Structure 1
Amino acid sequence: MKKHVLTGVAAGLLAALLASSAYAQIKVGVGSPITGSDAAFGAQIRNGAEQAAADINASGGVLGQKLELSVGDDAGDSKQGRSVANKFVGEGVTFVVGHFNSAVTMPASDVYNEAGVLEISPGSTNPQITERGYPLLFRTCGRDDQQGAVAAKFLVEHAKGKKIAIIHDKSTYGKGLADEARKGLAAAGVKEVMYEGLNKGEKDFSAMVSKIKSVDADIIFFGGYFTEGGLLVRQMRDQGVKAIIMGGDGIASQEFASIAGPGVEGSLMTFPPDPRKRPEAAAVVKAFESKGYNPETYTLYSYATVQVLKQAIEKAKSTDPTAVAKALREAGPFQSVIGDLAFDAKGDVTRADYTVYEWRKGPDGKVTYVQIGD
């Protein structure tokens, strides 16, 4: 009888221990387009977050707890993004790294705001995301009004007398970026020769190429992502159009060159200084490369987002999202692989550092993006 009682007590203690272990996790959702046309960016965000969480857990976790990731595929679609957000809330997620597409972050953040979940986006750049005043919403990337201004300034200084056409993919991000560049050009007295939208997901842009021909454009400012941007370049070259395309961070992927083909040389884009070249990122970059993975563009932004989240939780001495949000705004700057980061009252990073890149062929014959701006 005594043996049975002791066995029951031991079983109860074991169950309590297991329950405590299960509870001692900080649940973090990672929302990104794992599938769909923007899956290359989704993979970057997922890989960056997973590596950061693994590194943090290996060094003891956060406040004695481990980071437990839940990945949600939003496919770059606003409705699916909302579904992913509801999934995270149902799972008890309290922090989210994501989403990537601005059109997804907008509706998903509505869900998080209502549920009291803190969200930090590594890649959503539309200004309206943080202009809505959500207290638990942040981003580690810049804004389109910042990179649009940089693009416009570059064109004004380096493309005097050139005919500039503006094309966007009608997405929240693409049209927003195009409109910001258009504002910058207009402020400098430059009027575009064409302003048109194409449909994200389309493959045949022959009609658009014909319009570009008709206005004899020298430069195309493109607001959109690498799939449509790459196809547009390829089809322009196929029809003998030599106009140079300039885009934003949405084309900051080697996939852009792969889709565009040889005619991609000379294309321009805006993006922050290459985070892979920062001294703070050296060890992490080496770790990625040892696995045969190139941590380009948003990989390190995602890694940095998890780093910042860890430090803010430790500063707050709490995993309560409201307390962590307060720490994010007041306790920075936070050290990260993309440099020190601090946040303003809106949740934007206080450092805006967009520059200009050109796609060039290297000694190995591979076309990649090379920084040419300051």
Structure 2
Amino acid sequence: MRPHFLLLTLFSILLALASPARAEIKIALAAPLSGPDAVFGTQLRNGAEQAATDINAKGGVLGQKFIIVPFDDRGDLKQGIAIANRLVDEKIFFVIGHFYSSITLAASEIYANHSILEITPSATNPQITERGLDLIFRTCGRDDQQSAVAAKYLAAQTGKKIAILFDNTAYGKELADDVRQRLAKAGIQDVLYAGIDKGSKDYGRLVGRIKAAAADLVYWGGGDADAGLLLKKMRAESITAQLLGTDSLASDEFARAGEAAVEGALMTFPADPRRRLQAAGVVREFRARDIDPEVFTLNAYAAVEVLAQAAKAAGTFDPVTIAKTIHSGRPFPTVLGTLTYDAKGDVTTPDYAVYVWRRGYEDQLEYGELATQ
């Protein structure tokens, strides 16, 4: 753990000077709030803000109210680093985010050096928590957990030809590479390994290669809209290969982009938090506001819950002491269920499974856990 006694002393003085009647704890929400991935940033913001509202309505924590302060990193690494330095300058000691692993990896180094506690609801790169940083946590699983589930499913499809594709992002390629390595260890060789730039929308050549390879299964490491458009193009070219994607496909954007073609598509995803008993009241709150708390909304809500409970248990808003409390193995009841953390900052009970997109109520496309895996 890195000592920052001067900074923590300043933090304590500022907190002591706050008027009890107006005391506020600022929590940064760092995410892409504009640009092509704003849908995910909005999910994080909705979750964090609703959690703060609900906690404040119950009296706050240690006499303090939570204030969510949004910062738009636009999904851009340089902007994410700029925001991290800005939080240092503005003396904000808690952050929910970032959304992307690449930004989280860079920003968390800055946060660690200035005793800022970070909880990411969505960044899944294993290296985020493998570096021995004391102040980084997540409410999601890790890429190597969901890629293991994907590889196991693919390996069980005996005799099927498998294509492995990705969108040239660090997230997408790392997942694709891990699945490929796991299949290779099982003695399974893919018939096609290829990438395409995110958002390119030029799928003709790639679809032609899928057809030429006669693939029966396509593993997709990458984002939702690209997956939907790729699948739509595949079906237009009479390619019947089934697609298995990542947790990013648990999004209405995937269904909008792929339309009817997404029916039958598979993805790795944790148990749907919207269906948990613990989340029922919060889900009703969102839906009363015409918001579907999909994908990462409840992960962000849970991040604020963990922070609030750890601060209360620690009896302080000192980030280092709160981090020790989270690392202690203490259980935190949240909308995601009861979370506990290991020494790295990972949740101890990840629960990835294979899900399938299908027709549901009133013929609407929705996803549910695959019955046989």
- What TM-score do you get using the length of structure 2 for normalisation? 0.92
Which one of 153, 156, 164 corresponds to residue 162 of structure 2? 164
Q: Distance in 2 between matches of 1:116 and 1:252?
A: 34
Q: Distance in 2 between matches of 1:318 and 1:153?
A: 44
Q: Is the 8 Å Cα contact of residues 167 and 197 (structure 1) preserved in structure 2?
A: yes
How far apart are residue 240 of structure 1 and its match? Answer: 2.3
Which sits farther off after the overlay, 289-298 or 233-242? 233-242
Q: Which residue of 2 aligns with 1:5?
A: none
What do residues 322-363 of structure 1 show as CA deviations (whole Å, max 9, x unaligned)? 101000000511110101111111111111200110010124
Write out aligned runs for 1:1-374 (5 A).
20=19, 24-157=23-156, 159-373=157-371
Q: Distance in 1 between matches of 2:145 and 2:351?
A: 9
Q: Distance in 2 between matches of 1:184 and 1:366?
A: 35
Q: Secondary structure of 1:340's match? A: strand
Considering only CA atoms, is the larger Rg found in Structure 1 or Structure 2?
Answer: 1
Deviant stretches of 4+, over 3 Å: none
What do residues 180-220 of structure 1 show as CA deviations (whole Å, max 9, x unaligned)? 22222222221111111111121212111111112111111
Q: Distance in 1 between matches of 2:361 and 2:92?
A: 47
How far apart are residue 87 of structure 1 and its match? Answer: 2.3
How far apart are residue 19 of structure 1 and its match? Answer: 5.7
How far apart are residue 91 of structure 1 and its match? Answer: 2.1
Q: Distance in 1 between matches of 2:366 and 2:102?
A: 28
C-alpha RMSD of matched pairs (Å): 1.7
Q: Is the 8 Å Cα contact of residues 27 and 92 (structure 1) preserved in structure 2?
A: no
How far apart are residue 24 of structure 1 and its match? Answer: 2.2
**Unaligned runs of at least 5 residues, structure 2:** 1-15
Which sits farther off after the overlay, 37-46 or 307-316? 37-46
Q: Distance in 2 between matches of 1:43 and 1:320?
A: 28
Which sits farther off after the overlay, 69-78 or 46-55? 69-78
What do residues 73-116 of structure 1 show as CA deviations (whole Å, max 9, x unaligned)? 11222112112222222222101111111122111212212221
Which sits farther off after the overlay, 44-53 or 361-370? 361-370
Q: Which residue of 2 aligns with 1:6?
A: none
How far apart are residue 177 of structure 1 and its match? Answer: 1.3
Q: Distance in 1 between matches of 2:229 and 2:296?
A: 22
Q: Distance in 2 between matches of 1:104 and 1:83?
A: 11
Q: Distance in 1 between matches of 2:35 and 2:193?
A: 27
Q: Is the 8 Å Cα contact of residues 161 and 191 (structure 2) preserved in structure 1?
A: yes
Q: Is the 8 Å Cα contact of residues 20 and 63 (structure 2) preserved in structure 1?
A: no
Question: What percent identity do the matched residue pairs reach?
Answer: 51
Which sits farther off after the overlay, 28-37 or 307-316? 28-37
Q: Is the 8 Å Cα contact of residues 362 and 368 (structure 1) preserved in structure 2?
A: yes
